[in-house]
A = this chain, B = another copy of it.
């Protein structure tokens, strides 16, 4: 044997291999044997670090990308909201998003994994971005102060998420995003005056 990796180095190699498998085959297609082979190691080394396949999947997903969360500032609440939704839609409908949805489905009956996922998928960051958006709109006098509310901030993304749950894999058409903003989000903000 030429060299034998250990510790951090090996761990990174495993995560990289798992992330590659995720990208190519999705979570359902990611098998422990293939990850081990691809990382040039064996399942022992994996199971010593992650007790279950799902745990490795989540860790690898994190390794897959550090989602950059933009804070749009188009000048209008409508513009900001649309941009946020469009960006989210793009992420979710990408192969990357398919992985995420596969993981969510697999973790659906495992509360522990679910919280892990929430932490690592930047959901909280996103909520804060929406709240910031509402605050800026209120400062501009474009929205009532009472609209700066957690439920209001999370509603559009929740609706988009539910839309994905109803449809299958394809991306959500842009008209739906516009509808969410114009028929729900903006009237809702207005109604809280």
List residues of chain A with CB under 8 Å of any chain B CB: 26, 28, 98, 101-102, 104-106, 108-111, 114, 118, 123, 149, 151-152, 155, 158-159, 161-163, 165-170, 179-180, 183-184, 186-193
Residue of B104, B179, B188, B193 near A188 (CB, 8 A) is B188
- In the bound complex, CA of A81 to CA of B168 (Å): 28
Q: From A158, which residue of chain B is reached at the shortest CB distance?
A: B162
In the complex, chain B residues whose CB is within 8 Å of the CB of A152: 183-184
> Are A102 and B109 neighbours in the complex by a CB distance under 8 Å?
yes
> Are A161 and B165 neighbours in the complex by a CB distance under 8 Å?
yes
> Are B169 and A109 neighbours in the complex by a CB distance under 8 Å?
yes
> Are A187 and B183 neighbours in the complex by a CB distance under 8 Å?
no
- In the bound complex, CA of A109 to CA of B158 (Å): 20
Q: From A111, which residue of chain B is reached at the shortest CB distance?
A: B168
In the complex, chain B residues whose CB is within 8 Å of the CB of A163: 158
In the complex, chain B residues whose CB is within 8 Å of the CB of A98: 109
Q: How far is the CB of A183 from chain B (nearest CB, A)?
A: 4
- In the bound complex, CA of A167 to CA of B66 (Å): 23
Q: How far is the CB of A147 from chain B (nearest CB, A)?
A: 8
Q: From A163, which residue of chain B is reached at the shortest CB distance?
A: B158
- In the bound complex, CA of A109 to CA of B100 (Å): 12
Q: How far is the CB of A180 from chain B (nearest CB, A)?
A: 7
> Are B192 and A187 neighbours in the complex by a CB distance under 8 Å?
yes
> Are B192 and A180 neighbours in the complex by a CB distance under 8 Å?
no
Given known pairs A183-B149, A187-B191, A192-B187, the reply for A155 and B166 (CB within 8 Å) is no
